[in-house]
C-alpha cells in the first residue's frame, strides 16, 4: 500500500466533516474485520512511482480506559501534523504510516488493531474504524509488545528489504511494559500460522531483540495518564530499563505528532534545537523537555531544565 501522496486539502475536508462529531460518533463500537490481525496475513510498505524511497512508520496508541483519547487526538489534528510535517521537514523520505490501537491481551477483546501502511487520506478513514474498547485490567501494564511482534512477523517493507534501513515504531501509553508475550495470546489474537506462531512465551526483552532487527523502537510515556500520575516513576524506570533514552516522556498529549516527527529528526542526525524549530514556543518547550535525554544533551544554567 502507500502508492499515492498526502493531500492537505483532503485532510482539511475530512477534519471539517468530522469536527462536530463526538468520539463515539467517529469511532466504531465493535472490532472491524479488516483491522483485526487474526485476519491479516501481511501489511506491506512498497516503493512506488509516487513514493520511490518509502519509509515505514508505525504509531501504536493505547486505547484502554485511561488512554482512549489518543486516537481522537490523531484523528482531529495529529495525523495531518504527522504526515505534513514529515513532508515539510524531510527527516525521512516518502512516509508510509501504519496506525495501531493497543489494549490488554489478558482481558480485552481487541488488544491489537492494525491499519494498512498508507500515505494519503485513506489512513484517516481506517483510523476512524478503530474500536475504542476502553478496557484494560488491573495488571499494571498493557500489551505494548503486541505491535512489536506484529511488525517483526507480519510486515514486508521495501526500505528494510531493499535498502537495509529499519522502520520506525512508536508505542504510546501511560503504563509499564508487560513482562512477557504469551504464546496463547499470539494464537488467540494473531492466529497460529507458521509465520506468526509462537512455540513458547517470549520475554519482552527477547521480543525487543527480535523486533529491533528491522525496527527502531520507541515508547512515548503519556504523563497525563491516570496510571502515570500515580506511579509515573515506576513506569519510567521500567521503560528506561528496557529502551534506555528511547523511552520518552510527554507532558502534553496534544503534542504527540510533533514529538514523533522531532524524535525521528533527532534519530536521523538533527540537533535538538533544529528538530524543534518551527513549532509554537510552548510546543517547542515541551518537546525539548521530552527529547533532552534522547538527544544526549544536558541542561545548562539558564536553559531548559529536564525534570524526571
pLDDT digit string (tens) for 222-276?
999 888 988 889 999 999 999 999 999 999 999 999 999 999 999 999 999 999 9
Looking at 3.40.50.410, 3.30.1540.20, 3.40.50.10490, 3.40.470.10, the CATH number of the domain 8-253 comes to: 3.40.50.410
Position 33 confidence tier, pLDDT thresholds 50, 70, 90? very high
Residue 179 to residue 18: CA distance in whole angstroms: 39
CA angle 147, 95, 124 (to 5 degrees): 70
Phi, psi of 274 (to 5 degrees): -65, -35
pLDDT at 13 over 60: yes
pTM: 0.92
pLDDT at 118 over 80: yes
Mean pLDDT of the chain: 90
pLDDT at 279: 96
Per-domain boundaries in the chain: 8-253
Q: Is 139 left (phi over 0), alpha (psi -120 to 50) or beta?
A: alpha
pLDDT at 192: 67
pLDDT at 138 over 90: no
Amino acid at each position: 500500500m502507500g502508492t499515492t501522496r498526502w493531500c492537505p486539502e483532503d485532510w482539511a475536508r475530512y477534519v471539517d466533516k468530522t469536527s462536530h462529531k463526538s468520539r463515539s460518533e467517529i469511532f466504531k463500537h465493535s472490532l472491524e474485520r479488516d483491522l483485526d490481525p487474526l485476519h491479516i496475513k501481511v501489511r506491506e510498505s512498497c516503493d512506488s512511482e509516487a513514493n520511490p524511497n518509502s519509509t515505514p512508520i508505525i504509531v501504536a496508541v493505547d486505547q484502554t480506559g485511561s488512554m482512549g483519547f489518543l486516537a481522537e487526538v490523531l484523528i482531529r489534528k495529529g495525523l495531518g501534523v504527522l504526515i505534513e510535517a514529515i513532508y515539510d521537514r524531510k527527516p525521512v523520505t516518502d512516509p508510509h504510516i501504519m496506525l495501531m490501537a493497543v489494549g490488554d491481551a489478558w482481558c480485552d477483546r481487541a488488544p491489537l488493531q492494525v491499519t494498512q501502511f498508507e500515505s494519503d487520506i485513506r489512513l484517516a478513514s481506517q483510523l476512524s474504524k478503530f474500536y475504542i474498547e476502553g478496557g484494560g485490567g488491573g495488571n499494571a501494564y498493557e500489551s505494548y509488545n503486541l505491535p512489536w511482534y506484529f511488525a517483526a512477523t507480519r510486515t514486508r517493507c521495501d526500505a528494510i528489504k531493499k535498502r537495509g534501513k529499519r522502520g520506525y515504531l512508536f508505542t504510546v501509553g501511560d503504563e509499564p511494559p508487560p513482562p512477557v508475550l504469551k504464546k496463547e495470546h499470539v494464537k488467540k489474537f494473531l492466529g497460529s500460522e507458521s509465520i506468526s506462531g509462537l512455540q513458547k512465551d517470549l520475554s519482552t526483552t527477547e521480543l525487543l531483540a527480535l523486533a529491533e532487527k528491522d525496527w527502531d523502537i520507541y515508547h512515548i510515556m503519556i504523563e497525563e495518564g491516570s496510571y502515570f500520575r500515580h506511579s509515573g516513576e515506576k513506569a519510567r524506570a521500567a521503560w528506561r530499563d528496557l529502551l534506555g533514552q528511547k523511552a520518552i516522556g510527554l507532558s502534553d498529549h496534544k503534542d504527540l505528532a510533533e514529538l514523533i516527527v522531532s524524535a525521528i529528526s533527532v534519530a536521523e542526525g538533527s540537533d535538538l534545537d533544529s528538530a524543534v524549530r518551527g513549532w509554537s514556543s510552548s510546543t517547542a518547550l515541551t518537546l525539548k523537555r521530552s527529547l533532552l535525554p534522547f538527544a544526549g544533551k544536558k541542561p545548562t544554567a539558564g536553559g531548559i531544565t529536564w525534570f524526571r
